[in-house]
Amino acid sequence: MSQDFQQQAEEFRSVFTRLSDEVQKVIVGNDDVIEGVLAALFAGGHVLLEGVPGLGKTMLVRTLGEVLDLPFNRIQFTPDLMPADIVGTNVVQEDPDTGRRGLQFEEGPIFTSLVLADEINRATPKTQSAMLECMQEKQVTVSGKRYTMDAPFFVMATQNPLEMEGTYPLPEAQLDRFLFKLMVPFPGRKELATILDRTTRRTFPTVDKVIDRDQVLRWMDFIRGVEVAEHVQDYAVRLVLATHPESEFATDQVRKYVRYGSSPRGAQGLILGGKIKALRAGRANLAFADIAAMALPVLRHRIMLNFEAEAEGLAGDTILRDLLDKVPRDTADFVAAQS
């Protein structure tokens, strides 16, 4: 590892800490959520947040926009929301000089850097599908013509775990587009008191800009240069394969309670998230612990449980924790194959 890379790694660690500290001036508690959202942004992925209303999810994205100096849009998903309301549509425009009329594309709110898709599961599947191309390809297609979003492009979607009436569960293909699924807990006694102090008085905390768009893109590129040892990458591969009940690496709980396991995007998420975890710990190479630490946010929305698991009230996180205990971090077979 070169001295220059080590210096950049230390600089990234400092920048990440400053960003987190600035966001925490406004967002009380939820340090793991803030770190997860920032990690997903730098990894080039999207985040699904699950929590009851009123926990500051909108404020989190707005604050991110301020500290990163990036534009921000909020889209409130409702049953009557149409795809064109998100991506935009062609409208008739008249040329003031010639009087001729023609179609001109008018961009929807998705054309920004930071998008809050609020209560995304309240929209119909047709509208939800409009997000697929945006999130994966960073573009939209309208009337056969493609329109590209500027980088970085980051979607943070929220869903309410309590109200199921009038909602449409996200399809597996769309869930897979989210790099992380983060659970937003209700604040405790101390945190709730701090929230009241900050929001019911005359002054409201303000944040400072830490980095801009060009610097965000620079760090996104830098992260992909972090080295991954082959045996550590193999651990990520085995974890993903272990979520499939037919795999040789599957645990007893996976075989009994899981219907479908993670896609290859799960392995990508483990590696990218692990790289940021390593840099945050002051290391420029991945360790087994970095991969294991990302397992829950990366895999919890990528495994489908069967009816037996639902009948027993078994949560996906429980199965994943058991999987982390059972899948060895290094194997004799891998070591022997490399010798």
* Choice between 200 and 2, residue whose per-residue pLDDT is larger: 200
In this prediction, residue 332 carries a pLDDT of 63
* Choice between 236 and 2, residue whose per-residue pLDDT is larger: 236
CA 213 to CA 296: how far, in whole Å?
A: 29
- Residues 261, 277: contact at Cβ < 8 Å? no
User: What is the domain partition of the chain in residue ranges?
Assistant: 1-79+113-197+210-225, 226-329
Among 222, 320, 230, smallest CA distance to 272 is for 222
Dihedral angle computed from the Cα positions of residues 4, 10, 16 and 19, in that order, rounded to the nearest 10 degrees:
-100
Q: What percentage of residues in the chain have a pLDDT greater than 90?
A: 37
In this prediction, residue 256 carries a pLDDT of 93
In this prediction, residue 7 carries a pLDDT of 87
1-79+113-197+210-225: in CATH 3.40.190.10: no
Phi/psi of residue 270, each to 5°? -60, -40
Under the banding of pLDDT at 50, 70 and 90, the label for residue 134 is confident
Task: Read off the pLDDT of residues 13-48 as tens digits, 9 standing for 90 and up.
Answer: 999 999 999 888 888 777 888 899 999 999 999 999
Q: Is the pLDDT of residue 150 over 60?
A: yes
The DSSP element (H or E) to which 3 belongs, if any, is: helix 3-24
Q: What is the mean pLDDT of residues 238-249?
A: 94
The gap from C-alpha 288 to its chain's centroid, in whole angstroms, comes to 21
CA 72 to CA 110: how far, in whole Å?
A: 9
Task: Read off the pLDDT of residues 102-111 as tens digits, 9 standing for 90 and up.
Answer: 777 888 899 9
- Residues 70, 107: contact at Cβ < 8 Å? no
Q: Is the pLDDT of residue 164 over 70?
A: no
CA 326 to CA 165: how far, in whole Å?
A: 38
Which of 107-111, 190-194, 303-307 comes out lowest in average pLDDT?
A: 190-194
- Rounded to the nearest integer, the mean pLDDT of the chain is 86
Among 318, 320, 297, 316, smallest CA distance to 34 is for 297
Phi/psi of residue 214, each to 5°? -60, -40
Q: Is the pLDDT of residue 196 over 60?
A: yes
* Choice between 14 and 338, residue whose per-residue pLDDT is larger: 14
Q: Is the pLDDT of residue 133 over 90?
A: no
In this prediction, residue 1 carries a pLDDT of 55
Q: Is the pLDDT of residue 166 over 70?
A: no
**CATH number at 226-329:** 1.10.8.80
In this prediction, residue 270 carries a pLDDT of 96
In this prediction, residue 168 carries a pLDDT of 78
Among 9, 281, 34, 75, smallest CA distance to 180 is for 34
In this prediction, residue 240 carries a pLDDT of 95
